[in-house]
Structure 1
Amino acid sequence: MRRTAGWRKPPGVFYVGRPTEWGNPWRVGGKAHGALDPATAVAHYQDALVKAQLLDKAGVPLLDRVEELRGRDLACWCDLDKPCHADVLLHFANRER
């Protein structure tokens, strides 16, 4: 993702950042949970996802819906060379059943 003038998200790419229900509530460098580095923020997200603590608007655990993301290209604002919660979502969405 970019904020460059004229840039557009490629067709078919699914945005999973904040404020979507798939967004990571643990902000890198944020003050609410302390100054988190990317790896720690992603670890918190994965832990909460696996423990069914991340819910959609209807109260359904996101882990129960993660297969909706199978085969999709996901986008977030994280730097491509840093850990991102989208990597966690891709792992669970595309795992062998």
Structure 2
Amino acid sequence: MSVCSIRKKDLNKRGIESFAEWLDRPDSVYIGRRQVYVQGTFNSKWKNPFSVKKYGREGCIQKYREMIVGSELMQDLEELRGKELGCWCFPEKCHGDVLLELLESRRM
């Protein structure tokens, strides 16, 4: 289970041609927002609706944590176990890290 960059240049380094090819892999889960400039993206139920520009990176991540812990999405967390979570932020800290932490805390 990990977070990865789904930027084209990063996917290409891994031998993956496009976002669509990455998404077609059975272990891939997109956790971002719809991007008009990237064909095939959509608003994932795991997206972070909080803007880094508005709240700063740490504030954005904290707001996401508060939102998800109090939501029905907590019931769906297990569907992410063993998957590669694709985000535009990686390698910077992001809401994908929150999802990983929440999943790990369920193991204990």
Instruction: Report TM bin, short chain.
Output: 0.7 to 0.9
Of all paired residues, the percent bearing the same amino acid is 32
Task: Give me the TM-score of the superposition, normalised by structure 1.
Answer: 0.72
Output the CA distance in 1 between the equivalents of 2:49 and 2:7: 20
Equivalence map 1:1-97=2 (5 Å): 1-4=6-9, 7-9=17-19, 10=22, 11=25, 12-18=27-33, 19-29=43-53, 35-52=54-71, 61-80=72-91, 82-95=92-105, 96=107
Q: What is the CA RMSD across the aligned residues, in angstroms? A: 1.8
Contact 1:46 1:85 in 2 (8 A): yes
Output the CA distance in 2 between the equivalents of 1:66 and 1:90: 9
Q: Indicate how the Cα distance of structure 1 residues 73 and 79 shifts in structure 2: closer, same or farther if over 3 A, else same.
A: closer
Matched residue SS, 2:55: coil
Structure 1 stretches of at least 4 aligned residues deviating more than 6 Å after TM superposition = none
Output the CA distance in 1 between the equivalents of 2:97 and 2:52: 15
Question: How many residue pairs were aligned?
Answer: 82
Q: Which has the higher contact order (CA 8 A, sep 6+)?
A: 2
Q: For structure 1, which segment, 11-20 or 35-44, has the greater mean C-alpha deviation from structure 2 after superposition?
A: 11-20
TM-superposed deviation, 1:28: 1.2
Task: Give me the TM-score of the superposition, normalised by structure 2.
Answer: 0.66
Kindly provide the CA deviation profile for residues 38-67 of structure 1, in whole angstroms up to 9, marking residues without a partner as x.
111010000111122xxxxxxxx1011111
Alignment gaps of 5+ in structure 2:
1-5, 34-42
Alignment gaps of 5+ in structure 1:
30-34, 53-60
